[in-house]
Structure 1
Amino acid sequence: MKKKQFAIIGLGTFGYNVAVELVKKNMQVLAIDNDSEIVNRISRFVTQALVADATDEKAMEDACVADCDSVVISIGGSIETSILSTLIVKELGVKNVIVKSSSCWHSKVAAKLGVDTVVYPEFEMAKKLVDNIAMPNVLEQIELSKDYNLVEVVAPKEIWGKTIKNSGVRSNYGVNIIAVRKRIPIINDDGQSDIKEEVNMMPGPDDEINQNDILVVIGPEKSLTKLRG
């Protein structure tokens, strides 16, 4: 199977780390920035690293950006530079364009240009931090729609030892358990304590919920808020 090809335009902290992580996933990565020092630093990690002006259409064409499966535009500082680069990449016919946004206004303009994904790292990290502080029993959350989410939540104490049917999770909280991650304390061969994890992807009504279980639940946001406590 042919490796996917990615271009990362803009090698600030976000772009640099995206490029390196993609390489770890065995992807081909073209890294582009106008700072030769940064390009030189990342060159040993990525497939190809180029010093180029992202607002120069000829330079982007010569870099074969259009041959990439996806392009991540992660240009900091000037919103205008990011927008112009986005427009050039779109006109080159790149199939999947992802833009790192620096503001709500930037996100709106990028969306108008027809980008496939807009990411706003500062906002998303702030939201994740607040969720972790306000709801420490929630381990992971995926927003499926405006009002419907999927979350991983530590099993509440009041349902330990109960079956899914008798736990009242559906009737009391209005959510459905779609999987259970069981964390079972064990003693290793060397006598050290450890945790063995088993995942039940199709839990039945008679399956029991225990103290260390992680519940993967799906439901309306207002119901999930009640479950989080």
Structure 2
Amino acid sequence: MKKEYAVIGLGRFGGSICKALSEEGLEVMAMDMNEDRVNEYAKIASHAVIGDSTDESVLKNLGIRNFDHVIVAIGENIQASILTTIMLKELGVKMVTVKAQNDYHEKVLNKIGADRIVHPERDMGRRIAHKIISNNVLDYLELSDEYSLIEIVANSRLAGHSLLDLDIRARYGINIVAIKRGKEVIVSPLADEMIQKEDILIVIGAVADIGRFEKREMQNDY
């Protein structure tokens, strides 16, 4: 059976999630207090309803506890976000992902049992910053407060050398876990693997170590 999702809050963030899930062919219920937004997503989501998510009776009538995953994407109303999250967990929703406005909001969400907390604006800002710092960075993903994963295009400093020659793990404490070369993906590349220009390197490690690698190896191309 297909998993069923509910997205509460149809602003820019919630709306994009609703579209993405729907495009994957998944069952999605879209919910917002704004009638115009609900009408917009009625053509996209499986179901679209106008409702106040801080009203427990509304959530019960929607059978919210039967959804596999609920995304709380409420905008600037932190109180509504918190109250909605509390009620979702009390009603027995197994997985609740919540958009946090700031670090204080995140602390509260952690205390009340949110299963996953996201900071879309902050995280996107960091991803863009890394792309600005180095034109070679294709993507940047935080795995935790201390560890990240990046996709980076091999420049002329790295090309023509084997992983053993570069000794990146010893020098920077980071690991190249895969290499994308055209349509080919080399997972767990061996030490004698030669890096080619335009290879996409999948690198994982501590944020500070990745930063040192970017600064020394990627910003001084020749």
- TM-score, normalised on structure 2? 0.89
Matched, 1:28 2:14: no
**Per-residue deviation, residues 145-190 of structure 1 (Å, max 9, x unmatched):** 443333222224223212222233233333322211124xxxxxxx
**What corresponds to 1:221 in structure 2?**
207
Matches within 5 A, 1:11-160: 11-160=10-159
| Equivalent of 1:202 in 181, 188, 193 | 188
- AA aligned to 2:93 is V
CA offset at residue 30 of structure 1? 0.8
Unmatched runs of 5 consecutive residues or more in structure 1: 184-196
Task: Note if contact 2:11-2:74 (Cα within 8 Å) is conserved in structure 1.
Answer: yes
CA offset at residue 28 of structure 1? 0.5
Q: Structure 1: how far apart are the matches of 2:202 and 2:76?
A: 39
1:98 is paired with a residue whose SS is: strand
- AA aligned to 1:47 is S
Task: Note if contact 2:73-2:99 (Cα within 8 Å) is conserved in structure 1.
Answer: yes
Range 111-120 or range 200-209, more displaced: 200-209
Q: 1:148 to 1:41 in 2, by over 3 A?
A: closer
CA offset at residue 223 of structure 1? 2.7
CA offset at residue 215 of structure 1? 1.5
Q: Structure 2: how far apart are the matches of 1:106 and 1:146?
A: 16
Q: 1:128 to 1:202 in 2, by over 3 A?
A: closer
**Which one has the bigger strand percentage?**
1
Superposed CA RMSD? 1.7
Range 111-120 or range 217-226, more displaced: 217-226
Q: Structure 2: how far apart are the matches of 1:11 and 1:145?
A: 27
Q: Structure 1: how far apart are the matches of 2:130 and 2:120?
A: 15
**What corresponds to 1:7 in structure 2?**
6
- TM-score, normalised on structure 1? 0.86
Aligned length: 215
Please say which structure displays the higher CA radius of gyration: 1
Q: Structure 1: how far apart are the matches of 2:126 and 2:97?
A: 20
**What corresponds to 1:191 in structure 2?**
none
Q: Structure 1: how far apart are the matches of 2:101 and 2:157?
A: 43
Task: Note if contact 1:7-1:71 (Cα within 8 Å) is conserved in structure 2.
Answer: yes
Poorly superposed stretches of 4+, deviation over 6 Å = none
**Per-residue deviation, residues 23-76 of structure 1 (Å, max 9, x unmatched):** 111211011111222112211111111111111111110011111001111112
Q: Structure 1: how far apart are the matches of 2:69 and 2:2?
A: 12
Q: Structure 2: how far apart are the matches of 1:164 and 1:36?
A: 56
CA offset at residue 93 of structure 1? 0.6
Task: Note if contact 2:178-2:203 (Cα within 8 Å) is conserved in structure 1.
Answer: yes
Q: 1:47 to 1:138 in 2, by over 3 A?
A: same
Task: Note if contact 1:55-1:85 (Cα within 8 Å) is conserved in structure 2.
Answer: yes
Unmatched runs of 5 consecutive residues or more in structure 2: 216-222
Q: 1:124 to 1:61 in 2, by over 3 A?
A: same
Matches within 5 A, 1:171-182: 171-182=170-181
Range 63-72 or range 137-146, more displaced: 137-146
